[in-house]
Amino acid sequence: MGCGSSSIKIRKSAKTIRAALIIQNWYRGYRARLKTRQRYALTIFQSIEYADEQGQLQLSNFFSFMLENYVHIQEKDPTLVNRLFGCAPLDDRGRQECVGIIEIPDSYIGPRLQFPLNSNSLNVMIEAFKQQQILHAYYVLEILFETKEAMKQMPNFNHIRTCPTKEITICGDLHGKLEDLLLIFTKNGLPSGYNPYVFNGDFVDRGKCSIEILMILFVSFLLYGDDLCLNRGNHEDFLMNMRYGFTKEVLSKYKIHGKKILQVLEEVFAWLPLGTIIDDEILIMHGGISESTDLNLLHHIERNKMKSVLMPPVPVDKDVGTETKKTKGYMPRGVKLSGSPSDYLTKHEWEQVIDILWSDPRGKRGCYPNTSRGGGCYFGPDVTTKFLNKNRLKLLIRSHECKPEGYEVCHDGKVITVFSASNYYEEGSNRGAYIKVGFSTNLRFFQYQVTKATCLGPLHQRVNTIESSAIRILKERIISRKTDLIHSFQLQDRTKSGKISMGQWAFSMENVLGLNLPWRSLSSHLVLTDQDGNIDYMTCFHDIHIQKPVKEAQSALIETLYRYRSDLQIIFNVIDSDHSGLISMEEFHSMWKLFCSHYNLHIGDSQVDELAERMDLNKDGSIDFNEFLKAFYVVHQLDNLHKSKTQLA
């Protein structure tokens, strides 16, 4: 009796274990599928982000082309030439004359600071920013002028040391996400002489609180300069800021003094150090290295000459001697600059800075062009080992890339990426992280995530949110190339059936868009497939279209203007030196012709002329180009209908 009872219990126990294993295996598979969907979504975000950066860097060539061909520039705005080539003098009326004319009214309810600054100034400012208060332009400019003067005394690379009782905290990209910075301070403490920090660039752009982050970091630097290191990132660049939001943020928050703030910031960014070295063993730079990175040259380069990576390097004209020409620089014909050739970076120096701000590590050996971003390079583990050995270093810590867990270790532990902006692409898309470096190179990693309603939901809900957002921006990319895609599809569709194979569809998508995405896996969300597995390719465009500001405008023109709207906005902003938001019809026509010529766009001038004239609403001969470009936007017709079907499984 006892034995029978025991065997029954054993059988029941075995069934329970088998059931538990089945459930466990199912859950593991379910979770793995969710993680795969999340990874695909992050790949979409990153591919489109890098493609945009590639377009941004290509503007460098356009600016050279523009200066060579746009004859009005020399006559109307010669200062624009010097600005584009990195030698534009600031409207330097002196700090006192600039700041002294600004009054703080009694009605101002934001934080009030006392100069010289003290630790209480930092606390007051942080508390005010938590309440979404705006720091007065007077204080912003005072802080910027003080920061610029202090930065001028800094070397290209900060050298700091740990000790048994003091760790150094390293933070990566923040990108205007104030909540992440405040969370770091809550967890890790404010900067001080006993709590040193290194912030590794990309403080601004994308997020909504870039100016607040800068004020906190700059005040901390002014208070604890020896224990607060700020490295330059690729977004500390005034032309990048025009595209990715910081310029707009400053002009929106400081409508009267925004232009002056941006001018001073342009100088401050140029004076930011290029990197930090801890204990002569750990090198911290924003991007990475290349096989030609020369740390000795970078220690001695005049970094303030690098105003923007989009500025063509080394000006050389017919009046410049042959010695300068040996630097392989160039200058468009007929363009005259103020200053001597020594006022500018050489092409080699320019490339050195681009490499350390823009490069990314990869598992493949060697060093090859960073085709995704369009600037810098990909460097392999062999390049890392050779560089570290040559410079007697042990470790490279860099940022520049969003990582799902906030950090990533590669190249046999010799390269670490740290990224501190959580929820970078979408709520729940990634964690943020920071690193604490202790005595004898002891590293500790800390992860976090700013939590909101979506971050607290179950995994499948978070993945659906990330996924929906990724597919949305991918569809916007697709519709911007509708004409080109249809042409490619029709070349494959020899029977004119409206259908092509999965392989043909995937080939066309990659050939036209160049995003290096897993199109076959994404197809179920982008197009309809018949029972034979063939793609109804026109279904790519059924639920989305670009709004036409003028109904008669041709689709090819609308797609082109939408696709290049960010590039055009930067170009028009550069021409619009007084930030009025207006350019003349003549400037618009001339610039559009140059743009089409340089980018090999086949759009009839008459189409654009007619559209521009329609957009000149008050018929004064000027165009509000920001409003003009805003008129081209994507309409998602089925946003709500397919929310429940947004899965890439």
Which residues are annotated as catalytic?
A: 235
What does DSSP say about strands 432-438 and 168-171: parallel, antiparallel, or unpaired? antiparallel
Cα–Cα distance measured from residue 396 to residue 387, given in angstroms and rounded to the nearest whole number: 10
438 with 283: CB under 8 angstroms? Answer: no
Measured in degrees and rounded to the nearest 5, phi and psi for residue 305 equal -80, -15
In Å, what is the CA distance from 70 to each residue of 55, 147, 332, 498, 641?
Answer: 21, 37, 11, 45, 49
- How are beta strands 367-369 and 377-379 bridged, if at all? antiparallel
Joined together, the tokens standing for residue 75 give: 């006559």
Residue with tokens 């004020």: 215
**Which residues share a beta bridge with 327?**
none
The widest CA-to-CA distance across the chain, in whole angstroms, is 110
For residue 429 the two structure tokens come to 């898309």
Q: How far apart are the first and last CA of the chain?
A: 52
Residue 295 vs residues 156, 344, 395: alpha-carbon distances, Å: 10, 20, 14
Give the 3-state secondary structure of residue 533: coil
136 DSSP 8-state letter: P
Q: Which of 157, 179, 196, 374 has the alpha carbon at shortest distance from 275?
A: 157
The answer to whether 179 touches 425, Cβ cutoff 8 Å, is no
CA-based nearest residue to 436, from 184, 202, 230: 184
CA distances from 149 to 43, 93, 95, 137, 201 (A): 42, 15, 11, 18, 19
Residue 370 has what DSSP assignment?
Answer: -
Burial 261-274 (b: 16+ CB within 10 A, else e): bbbbbbbbbbbbbb
Which H or E run contains 276?
Answer: strand 275-278
Structure tokens belonging to residue 641: 């209908």
Distances (CA, A) of 301 to 60, 236, 297, 333: 21, 18, 6, 27
Which helix (H) or strand (E) covers residue 340, if one does?
none
Going edge to edge, which strands form the sheet with 228-230? 228-230, 197-199, 168-171, 432-438, 442-448
**H-type alpha helices, 318-428:** 322-325, 347-358, 381-390
- Rg of the Cα atoms in the chain: 27
Phi, psi of 342 (to 5 degrees): -70, -10
What is the DSSP code (8-state) at residue 298? H
Q: How far apart are CA 2 and CA 479, in angstroms?
A: 74
Which letter does DSSP use for residue 247 in this model? Answer: H
Among 416, 513, 425, 460, smallest CA distance to 207 is for: 425
- Judged by phi (left if over 0) then psi (alpha if -120 to 50, else beta), residue 66 lies in alpha
DSSP-derived pairing of the beta strands 415-418 and 395-398: parallel
**Is the preceding omega at residue 458 within 30 degrees of 0, hence cis?**
no
Q: Using alpha carbons, select from 178, 187, 267 the residue that is nearest to residue 216.
A: 178
